Structure formats: C-alpha cells, structure tokens
Amino acid sequence: MSRKKLNITSLGNKTMNWLGNFLTKQQILILLSAFVGLVSGLVAVTLKNLTYLIQSLLGGGYISNYHNAYYFVFPLIGLTLVYLLSKFILKKDIGQGISTTLYSISRRKGFMQKFQNYASMIAAPITLGFGGSAGLEAPTVVSSAALSTSFSKYLNLTQASRTLLIGCAAAGAMSSIFQAPIAAIIFAIEIFSLDLTLISMIPLLVASVSSILTSYFFFGSDIILHTQLEKAFSIGDVPFYLALGVFTALASIIFTKVYMYTFKKFNTIDHKINRILIGGIILSAILFFIPQIYGEGYATVNELLAGNHDLITNNRFLKGWDMTWMVIVFLLLLVIFKMIATSVTIAAGGIGGIFAPVLFIGSMIGHSYALVINALGITKAPLSVSQFTLVGMAGLMAGVMHAPLTAIFLIAEITSGYSLFIPLMITAAISYVITSQFQPNSVYTLELAERGDLVTHNKDQAVLTLMDIEQVVENNFEILTDNMNLGQIVNEGVVKSNRNIFPVVDKNNIFKGIILLDDIRTIMFDKSLYEEMTVTSLMQRAPDVIDLKECRMNHIMKKFQDTDAWNLPVVRDGKYVGFISKSKLLTAYRQKLIEVTV
C-alpha cells in the first residue's frame, strides 16, 4: 500500500515538473482552477439530476400527488437510507456541509477524506428526493472541494494552493447552481476567508466561468429562480427596506437559535435510529399539513415571484379566511415550519445545506411583509411584492450566513440587473449588522468558532488556527519526581540536561511544578545540603500551564504575552507532556505564515 502511495506521489511530482517546463506556478494554478471549475459544474449537474430523478420516481409533480398514502413516510425512508449508507457502506460519518470543509482547512491542512468525494453526491439526493427539507448547495460544495483536494494531493501542492482550490471548488459549485459567477466568487471569499488579492482572484474567476459554462452546456439558460423586476427603485421605499432589514435580522437570529437548539436536543438522543424515527415522524407531520416544505422549496419561491398564491389558497386547512390575510398567515407558518423542518432534517442525520431553506424563508418574509404594508394601505402606491420577496432573501442570507456581499450580488445577478442594488445593500447591511451583534458567528462557523477551529480573514488569527500545537512541544527536558533530594536533582537532572528548567511530576506523572537552574545554582555544589534539601522545598509554580485538551494556539500565545515567560509546561489530563518555548513558537508561526501565503 505504501509503495502504491509513493508511486502516485512520484507521478504527481513528475506531472508538476513537466508542467513547470512550460508554465509558471501561477499559470499552473489557473489551469488547475479551470479544471476544478469544470468538475464542480459536473458535480452540481449530477446532484441536481439525481435529486429530480428520485422525486419524479416517487410521484412527480410539485403538488399534484402530495396527499397519497405513501408520501408521508418518504422522509423517514430517506433518513433511514442515509443512515444505512453511512453505517454499512461508507462506515464513516458523512459530516455536514460547509462546516466539514472549513474544518478540513483549519485542522487537516486543506485535505479532505477520500469518501467525501462521493458521499454527499449519494446521500444528499436521497435526503432531498425523499422529502427532506434542505438544500443541494452545501453538498455540492463539499463534493467539489473534496475532489479538488484529491487533485492537490496528487500534485503535491502547498497548503496555500490547496486552500485556494477549495475556494475555487466552492465558487464553481455556486456559479453552476445559480448561474451567478460574481456572487460565487464573493461567496468563496466571504465563507472560506480567502485573501482578496489578484493572485487568488484570477483562479476564482476562471473556476467560476468554467463551472457556469458547464452548467450552460447541460441546462442552457434555465435558472433556479425566475423573476422579472416590475418597477424601478423609489427613494420613498427606503424606510420599508430599512424595516425589512430589521425583520430579517430578527428571523436570522431565531433561525440560528432554532437550528442549534435542534442539534443539541438530537445529540442527547442516544442511538441514531431513534434520531431518525423522531426526525422522520416530525417531518412527516409537517408535510401532512404543509406540503410546500418538501425538498429545497424553489418551486414555491418561483410561484411567489410570479404572484401566484394558488398553492396557498388551495390549502384545505385555511378555507374561509380572507384571501390576503390568509396568504400572509400561511406564509408566516411556512417561515416557522421551514426553520423547524430544515433543522430536524439535518439534525436527524439527513445530508443537505441551509442555503436553499434560507432563500425560501427570506422570500416568505419579504413577500408577506410587502403584502401586509399594501393591505394596510400605508403607502400611496403599492409596494412591489416581487421586489420585496427578492430583497427578503438577501436580508436573511446576510444575517444567517454572515455573507452580506454574497447576498447582494446573488440577488442582483439572478434578476439580470442592478436596479435593486440599493435596496439590497440597505436590507443586507441592516440585517448583518444587527445579527452580528447578537450572533457573532454564522450557522456555518458557530461550532468551529466555539472550538477555536475557525479560520477567519484576520491573518494573525488564521495562522494561529492553522498551527499544530503538537509540533511545537519540546520533550528534551530532564524530569524530576517530587520525592527527590538535592543530590538526585544535581546527578539525575542538572548533569544530564542542557536546559535550565526542570519539570516536576509525581509517581503518576501528574505535573506539580518546575525548578529553575538559577534557583539551585548557589547551593547545588554544597554536598552537605544534598540530603537535607528536597524537590518540594525548591519547586515553584509554573507561570502558567498549557492544557492540550483545552488550549488553542491563540490561547497559548496570550499566555506567553501575559506571563512574559520563555517556556511554559504542557499537560494532558494533568499529566506532563513537555514544554513550549516562545522562540520555537514564533519560528513555527513564521513558517506557517509563509506556507499559507499564496
């Protein structure tokens, strides 16, 4: 096996050397980004077609066959199939979306596991095709990113190049799905914290274009969201866009809390089978009353953008209501239950993302908001309901994902114009600013941030996150036990060591303190004290202690700054491991900074 891996690596090096005869390093990276974009486009096409194939086999149509006897057990079947795939075929946890990719950047040096090349491409269509309420965007990004890391590993690229190609994969995936190449580039920069430089922009641009051309080849100019702007922006509508930003911020905070709360509750359920049963029953109950929750939900959004409320007014549970207010109430119900259904789908073991649900919920909020304003007759001229539907999507995306620029450019591009640019900027900015005050991290990054595994645009923080603590731990220290006397300290410690600090442990290797050479220098040649003086009488507390299970690199750096120490002891579960020196830490920091700079 090792020989095979060595041959593959050797072949990859030969390939890079051969390319190096004709192209510069930057040109090779651009060529690879084009290839990654092509692959991302093919992944997006595959995922979409597999999902639609499963949906068509299960009944077809969007609403026509929703109330047959088998429809409501589909989510449970889908979750079960994903569990069986993970448990018995892959024998690995597939992982959830963007967070998995971000973790691979921060903790796996830009490498993803091989099974992630295809796991999401199988599991996501099953989840959504059988009625799970999630999106295909995140699985597309994960599969594309995993394939890009396979190419990177084969060609033995640097960590900086691997990370950039992951960004190219993400840009390609989003560009292919939405046919919005500019928004796709911004998405990669905002979510994956890539540096905004010419060196990174060109590969992202090439990957985005390559992917969208692939999408055009298979789907033509057909796009997910169909809309046509009704009227130009009016300065008189600014207060209403400001208020919409506040409402979408509130919805963003609620969505994030519901999502995280659901995950925590499902994690307390012991067995995954029980999670599937509970999740499947909840989804089935929601689908029985509100079938519009099924899958991604883009069909419902397109109906709203077209001003068609038939899918709502035909609901048998709301007959007899006033038409306008019935629509408004039902849209708000869709908002609530889509949040729950999406959270349950993913927490119960389904594979999917939140991108599509966020657009779905945002459209419902924007649409119902405009209907309320028009119904109350607050404005002289009615608000454009379709425009507020679109702006609502941007507002929620900016709040939930902490990606305001992506939100602005995505909606601007799918509307084929920039007449909504000012409203999008107003609502997205308001939503992001308010949400970030209450929720500093997005749904994608919340868990990683809590563990200290999140790479951000802060270069210093990013470098510290990417550093491996284990690699800076030094072990060439003579260990003293707490039952030693001065004579043993000198003969078994000082004589054998070339360091001026000695860790003290008990018989179970539990760290107790340190002895400095300076502390015993004046007495270590006085043999009359060899039996009298003991380790415990000479030992002192360390300025601070680094616990490998709790400390991240930024915490370690702060400990050095606060204590002004040159060496700090390292423990795991209280047991001595070694020391970290400030000099080695700064050397490793500089080396990592060079590695992650493209």
Q: How far apart are CA 378 and CA 371, in angstroms?
A: 11
Between the alpha carbon of residue 316 and those of residues 61, 131, 290, 308, the distances in Å are 19, 21, 10, 17
Place of tokens 């950047």: 105
Is residue 567 a contact partner of residue 476, using CB atoms and an 8 Å limit? no
How many CB atoms are closer than 10 A to CB 422? 14
* Side chain identity, residue 421: F
User: What is the model's pLDDT at position 521?
Assistant: 87
344 pLDDT higher than 90: yes
CA pair distance 322, 96, nearest whole angstrom: 42
Confidence band, pLDDT 50/70/90 cuts, at residue 245: very high
Any idea what DSSP says for residue 87?
I
Based on DSSP, count helices (H) and strands (E) in the chain, helices before strands: 25, 6
For range 414-436, the mean pLDDT = 90
Query: What is the CB-side half-sphere exposure of residue 393 using CA atoms within 13 A?
Result: 29
> CA-CA distance, 345 to 281, in Å (whole number)?
11
Q: Which CATH architecture has domain 2-219?
A: Orthogonal Bundle (1.10)
Interval 329-349 mean pLDDT: 93
pLDDT at 63 exceeding the cut of 60: no
Q: DSSP letter string over 140-204?
A: HHHHHHHHHHHHHHHTT--HHHHHHHHHHHHHHHHHHHHS-HHHHHHHHHHHHT---SHHHHHHH
Asked whether the predicted pLDDT for residue 447 surpasses 70, the reply is no
Pick the CATH number of 235-456 from 1.10.3080.10, 1.10.230.10, 1.20.1250.20, 3.40.50.2300: 1.10.3080.10
> Which amino acid would we find at residue 444?
Y
pLDDT attached to residue 173: 94
> Residue 313 — very low, low, confident or very high, per pLDDT cuts 50/70/90?
low
Q: What are phi and psi of 285, to 5 degrees?
A: -65, -40
Domain with CATH 1.10.3080.10 in the chain: 2-219, 235-456
Is pLDDT above 80 for 47?
Answer: yes
Nearest to 342 by CA among 150, 97, 148, 117: 97
Instruction: State yes or no: pLDDT of 391 exceeds 60.
Output: yes
- For the record, the structure tokens of 34 come out as 């084009």
Residue 312, pLDDT above cutoff 70: no
pLDDT (mean) for 308-316 = 63
Task: Look up residue 340 and give its two tokens.
Answer: 């729950």
Exposure string over 122-158, b if 16+ CB within 10 A, otherwise e: bbbbbbbbbbbbbbbbbbbbbbbbbbbbbbbbebebb
**Amino acid occupying residue 324:** T
Least confident window among 307-316, 362-371, 498-507, 529-538 = 307-316
Across 31-35, 302-306, 585-589, 590-594, least confident range: 590-594
* 379 Rama class: left (phi>0) / alpha (psi -120 to 50) / beta: beta
pLDDT for 5 equals 43
Higher-scoring residue by pLDDT: 254, 446: 254
DSSP code, position 375: H
> Would you place residue 3 in the very low, low, confident or very high pLDDT band (cuts 50, 70, 90)?
very low
Neighbours of 275 (CB within 10 A): 21
Instruction: Tell me which of 96-110, 259-273, 353-367 is least confident.
Output: 96-110
Secondary structure (DSSP) of 525-557: T-GGGTTT-BHHHH-B--S--EETTT--HHHHH
Q: Which residues contact 321 (CB under 8 A, 6 or more apart)?
A: 329
Q: What residues are paired with 353 via a beta bridge?
A: 135
Strands laid side by side in the 575-581 sheet: 546-547, 567-572, 575-581
pLDDT at 557 over 90: no
Least confident of 149-163, 320-334, 492-506: 320-334
Residue range 179-185: mean pLDDT, rounded: 92
CATH 3.10.580.10-classified regions of the chain = 463-596
* pLDDT tens-digit readout, 121-180: 999 999 998 989 999 999 999 999 999 998 888 888 888 888 899 999 999 999 999 989
pLDDT at position 484, please?
92
H helix runs in 467-581, sequence order: 486-489, 517-520, 535-538, 553-563
Q: Which two tokens stand for residue 200?
A: 């990174």
Q: What is the pLDDT of residue 13?
A: 66
> Which residues, in sequence order, are CB contacts of 354 under 8 Å at separation 6+?
97, 134, 135, 138, 259, 342, 346, 400, 401, 443
Three-state SS string over 150-168 comes to HHHHHCCCCHHHHHHHHHH
Alpha carbon dihedral 27, 29, 30, 31, in 10-degree steps, equals: 90
Structure token pair of residue 161: 């190049």
Q: In which band, very low, low, confident or very high, does the pLDDT at 326 lie, cut at 50, 70 and 90? A: confident
Which residues make beta-bridge pairs with 580? 568
Tens-digit pLDDT profile for residues 458-488: 556 666 666 778 888 998 899 999 899 989 8
Averaged pLDDT for residues 515-523? 88
| Model-wide pTM > 0.85 | no
State the pLDDT confidence band at 591, using cuts at 50, 70 and 90.
confident
Residue 296: the pLDDT is 86
Mean pLDDT of the chain: 85
DSSP secondary-structure letter at 111? -
| CATH code for the part of the protein at 463-596 | 3.10.580.10
In 3D space, the residue among 331, 313, 315, 321 whose CA is nearest the CA of residue 389 turns out to be 331
End-to-end Cα separation, the chain, in angstroms: 32
- Strands 546-547 and 567-572 come out as parallel
Q: 505 has which bridge partners? A: 481, 511
- Give yes or no for a contact between 116 and 146, defined as CB atoms under 8 angstroms apart: yes
Is the pLDDT at 508 greater than 70? The verdict is yes
Q: And the tokens for 464?
A: 């510290």
